[in-house]
Amino acid sequence: MSTEAQYHHDIALSTRVRLARNVENLFFPNRMSREMAEEAIISLSAPLLRAAGDGFTLMRLDQGNHLEARALVERHLISPELANSQRTRGVVLSVDERLSIMLCEEDHLRIQSFGSGLCLENCLREALRIDDLIGGAVAYAFDEHLGFLTACPTNLGTGLRASVMLHLPALTEAGLMRDIVAAVGKMGLAARGLYGEGSEAYGALYQMSNQITLGQNEEEIIGHVSNVALRVVDRERTLRARIKKSQTYEYEDRVWRAMGILKHARRLPGEEGMRLLSDLRWGVSMGDLDLPLSLLDELLEGIQPGVLTLGAMRPLRAAERDIARANYVRERLQGLH
Amino acid sequence: MLCQICGLNEANRLYQSTSASGETHSAYLCAACAGGAGSAGSSSGAGAAGNIGGASGFDAEFAKAPFDFDLPAMMSEMLGLRTHRPGGVCPACGLRLEELSKYGRTGCVACYRHFAPALAPYVRRIHGDASHTGRAPAGAAPELARQRRLEELRHELQECIKSQAFERAAVLRDEIAKLQEGGAKP
């Protein structure tokens, strides 16, 4: 089995595991003074910065670097809450960006581990490795019955949030996403659009994650998320095959039209870019276009406004961003297929 | 208005109950507190509710409510919360119960102890009656046991002082000192 098939990369873009932790003898971030938060950031990042191998760097987010923060949000490396907070806060990132440890967000520590495709076990293993590394240096806030104590009671227990990002263009096209969201909700998972507000899901990208963190152990939680995600993946895959068979020309036209526009457009608004890249990814995942899926996933992140602006190294107006977006996509697709 | 038991959720209706002495008690409660309070006898409550078949409107709504809970006990718990903890303020971080209720965020580890009665129904509503079964921080178990034993001994010491059992109090004081010393060692 190829790595892509093993991790269901045709449908699962990426996986994230997050652990919420607090230090026993410190007030939670919402009650901390600036000085307390300063000290916490230094003491909590120290074990990470000392650890060899991951190449960690500490980035402060309260020093006017709004654009960097926004780009990190768009790439899902930090939460919007961390980026937008007025408090003293920071993030420690590994050099490969597979680990992101948010400091003084809602909790003292939000240990996040990322991976491509559906890889909850790997992500959990990595997150727990970091958990042990920091936990060896500080005493965590913990209660025998309530587990790891978090600022918000919704995260009590394991403090674990396991999320899978899925690309579901066929289910979206068939108008089935409302049912899917309701069905996974009944199975204890929350589903929402990855980009866009509320129920809007640009690019047919959805995130599914566990809601309950207390009463199940870490392995049980990721096992359940994995099972539910796989059922959705199966439905999407079946529907993709059916659409390709019964509506061949519509499907092929859609995929090739996306390729044509993305390779030649001179202006590319964000929403259109998401839709076209989603169509292209669909074609690539069906084996009809010879492009690496990882390139598509990279482009879906790369066309976000903050990431584009950061790349341009100067402020961009909306119209300028559309031009920069079209240029960026064209350059990346040049000479391919 | 906010629930008179947890002070966290919006109260959805006025609940009433009659004590054995015939006295009527009433309180505005949220669904979680009303449900939680009735959980011990919820099966009998459901059965009794079922017997009021045909009730409509308010009666039907009321019939759905678990009316076999001990409202006086809940009220005294609520009053106890206020008597022992003036203002409902966490002694460690200063978070007020109103803030907890408004933002749904605790301020420190002590909040979980201090606001335990108010938080319990909220936690139950999110996670059910579950207890933590996941991993624990390395070395947490012995320290936990020590903390709990210290709390017990301190409580007993206060009781002994109140009842003027000074001999027992002296023994407890030494035991507390020993346990504290043990915790201070690396």
pLDDT of residue B129: 85
> In A187-211, which positions are buried (b, 16+ CB within 10 angstroms) versus exposed (e)?
eebebbbbbeeeeebbbbbbbbbbe
A66 backbone φψ class: left, alpha, beta (φ>0; ψ -120 to 50): alpha
Count the neighbouring beta carbons within 10 Å of the beta carbon of residue B10.
Answer: 11
Q: How confident is the model at residue A61 (pLDDT cuts 50, 70, 90)?
A: confident
Closest-CA residue of chain B to A188? B127
Average pLDDT over residues A275-294: 94
Phi and psi at A280, nearest 5°, equal -65, -40
The verdict on a CB contact (< 8 Å) between A140 and B140 is yes
Task: Report the DSSP beta bridge partners of residue A110.
Answer: A20, A102
The verdict on a CB contact (< 8 Å) between A156 and B127 is yes
The verdict on a CB contact (< 8 Å) between A157 and B130 is yes
Tell me which of B6, B9, B103, B105 to substitute to probe the interface with A (most A C-beta atoms closer than 10 Å).
B105
The verdict on a CB contact (< 8 Å) between B134 and A147 is yes
Q: For the full predicted model, state whether its pTM sits above 0.80.
A: no
Query: pLDDT for B20-43, tens place per residue?
Result: 455 555 666 666 555 543 332 233
pLDDT of residue B68: 38
Nearest-angstrom CA–CA distance, A311 and A329 = 13
Whether the predicted pLDDT of A140 surpasses 90: yes
Query: pLDDT for A149-186, tens place per residue?
Result: 999 999 999 999 999 999 999 999 999 999 999 999 99
Count the neighbouring beta carbons within 10 Å of the beta carbon of residue B56.
Answer: 8
Contacts of B112 in chain A (CB under 8 A): 143, 146, 149
> In A130-163, which positions are buried (b, 16+ CB within 10 angstroms) versus exposed (e)?
bbebbbeebebbbbeebbbbbbbbbbbbbbbbbb
Q: For strands A99-103 and A109-116, give the pairing.
A: antiparallel
User: In this predicted complex, what is the ipTM?
Assistant: 0.85
Q: Which residue has the higher pLDDT, A146 or B145?
A: A146
Tell me the nearest-neighbour CA distance from A18 into chain B, angstroms.
Answer: 14
CA distance readout (Å), A26 to A30, A95, B140: 11, 29, 17
CA nearest A49: which of A36, A40, A58? A58
pLDDT of residue B61: 35
Angle subtended by helix axes A248-264 and A318-333, to nearest 10: 110
Query: pLDDT for A211-265, tens place per residue?
Result: 999 999 999 999 999 999 999 999 999 999 999 999 999 999 999 999 999 999 9
